[in-house]
A and B are shown apart, each in its own frame.
Chain A
Amino acid sequence: MEPLGQRLEDPAGQDVPEDPGRIRVGRRGSDHPRPAGAGVRIREYLERKARDPLSHVLTGTALEALDEIADLERQLDRLEEQALFRPEEVGDEGGIDPGLRGHGTDRRTVVAEGRELPPCGLGDSLAGPARTGASTPSLDSHTFSIFQRMMNSEASVRIRDLRVRRGGRLVLPEISLDLRRGVVTGLLGPSGSGKTTLIRSIVGVQIVESGEVTVLGKPAGSPELRHVVGYMTQAPSVYGDLTVRENLQYFARVLGAGTKRIRDAIETVALGDHADQVVATLSGGELSRVSLATALVGQPQLLVLDEPTVGLDPVLRRDLWNTFHELTATGTTLLVSSHVMDEAERCDDLVLLRDGRIVATGSPDELRHRTRVDDLEDAFLALAEAS
């Protein structure tokens, strides 16, 4: 975690390690300095206190809170910049913040339940009305959306300065990224852009050169995470000589999941009619659905899917995307990679990857706003060319 003091002292400097995943639009330079003194002094005090073994627990929490405030400030900065630099855009829609968009009635649940609890259950009663229709670009709505962002910023996955070499090639030079909890993040990019390598790093099966990947508060690949992270590889990794059901039975037993989960997983991927068919005799699309069912069977908190919908018919594809969003309603975080742009529309957040670098992150609406185009593919092109 980078120190807050530095951020505050150097609010507009080029070298601030400011959420490099986020693209900046209309940076205004240094005419908007933030007062440096207080934050630094508080942090110094807390850091001193943190060395005291008796109070370190308390101050640790306070330091985290300071980090969140810093996060909030950065987002405030960004939104102000957008507003001042391109005022005409802010009015289009209240939805600068992806948190206000469609899918999620569950977005506020994480906050309501506190950070230690798994974000499930209480959600619906606490969630406010969907605010898709809001259209006043008042400071209030800004503040509100920032607040929401901050509260949701309890990231499921936190990546800092990740550098990965794969097969002798530097695939990811330096990536930093946060994945919000309880949403579907789409990882988009042409093939060879590093999607699978990034995914493997998150799941913890990739040897990384440097950097940190934290998943649900633990270093990626920690033994505790093996129960709660579901992973679907790009090539269907199931046993071809077993039936669909036998495959799921085995993986369910490894994960300690019950028979009901097996049935549910088979239903979800619509393979009920083929449950007792040997996997090797299935078609390509069916095969990848078995692989997907295997990732679903353990009821993971983080579900990482590498191109799960390739070769599926449109109806099933739509159904699966609905399933993905249903899963987020129980607090599951999803990361779904795709090289098909029309899937981007179905994601809450997007990460556009190209040549191992993050070109942009944000909701589909946000990206359209930034690039002033309606089509996400065009938006991607614009962002890729600008980068």
Chain B
Amino acid sequence: MSPRITLATAARVLRQLRRDRRTLALVLFVPALLITLFKYVFEGQEAAFDRVGPPMVGIFPFVTMFLVTSIAMLRERTTGTLERLMSMPLAKLDLLLGYGLAFASVATAQASLTAGVAFGFLDLNAAGPVWLIVVFAVGNAVLGMALGLLLSAFARTEFQAVQFMPAFVLPQILLAGLLVPRERMARVLELASDVLPMTYAYDALAKTAADDLDGRLALDAALIGGFIVLALVLGATTLRRRTA
């Protein structure tokens, strides 16, 4: 692995994204627009908005980066650029970290913008520190990226890759406790949610918003990190130097 190649890869991914202005605009502004929509849907129910708002700021980057990465990686696989890179002196970690760096920086911009709009203009209230919400948002983005990278290996077409969004991400959002607290769900569903990464991503955001900066939060953060590493390791095994 070499910093030169990692940084070159990150720069290349960002340049590709920058060239696609429409995608970049959608990535940056859609979360802010959606949270504005939420504000007016919850008109007069400030408490509900304050409960859902902070997790939303942190979960958007997960969803966006999951989608963008799975499509980008699928393209690398189908256009042969991955095969070319794999025949070059590029370590798999260079590619993974390059993507991670690029998307983490986009996620930082996205989460900062969303948080700025929500807390600055929409009177969203959180008891905890807003910067920590943004930090978790970036962590979630990297988690989304790592999972997208892994799942891209199981899609042959972009149609399939897009369908992984409702297939893998929506159930996690449903089970994470955002709509119904986990302890009120059926036991089976609660157990299922125990092994899903989104559960801890949501929990961390909710705790931060409630200013419960305790040991459980640290555990959440550690688990998110663990899921990221696990997904990247599994993702690396899908990057094959040799194919059949």
Contact = CB atoms under 8 A, between A and B. Distances in A.
Tell whether A pairs with B: yes
Interface of A: 165-167, 203-207, 221, 223, 226-227, 229, 231, 233, 235-242, 246, 250-251, 253-256, 278, 294, 298
Interface in B1-27: 4-5, 8-9, 11-12, 15-16, 19-20
A235 B79 contact: yes
A239 B87 contact: no
B244 A241 contact: no
Interface string B160-199: 0000000000000000000000000000000000000000
B84 A278 contact: no
Contact of A207 (B12, B16, B244): B244
Given A205-B241, A242-B19, A231 B87 contact: yes
B88 interface: yes
A11 to B, nearest CB: 39
B88 A241 contact: no
A237 B81 contact: yes
A235 B75 CA distance: 13
Given A231-B87, A242-B15, A250-B12, A237 B80 contact: yes
A237 B85 CA distance: 10
Nearest first, the 9 A-B pairs at minimum CB distance are A237-B80, A253-B8, A226-B89, A250-B12, A237-B84, A207-B242, A241-B16, A233-B80, A207-B244
B86 interface: yes
Contacts of B87: 203-205, 226, 229, 231
B88 A237 contact: no
Contacts of A251: 84, 88
A237 B79 contact: yes
Given A207-B244, A226-B87, A278-B19, A239 B81 contact: yes
Contacts of A242: 12, 15-16, 19
Contacts of B12: 239, 242, 246, 250
A239 B242 contact: no
Given A227-B89, A254-B88, A254-B90, A237 B83 contact: yes
16 contacts: A205-B86, A221-B242, A223-B89, A231-B84, A231-B87, A235-B79, A235-B80, A239-B12, A239-B16, A241-B19, A241-B20, A250-B12, A254-B89, A256-B89, A278-B19, A298-B88
A237 B84 CA distance: 7
A328 B83 CA distance: 26
B45 interface: no
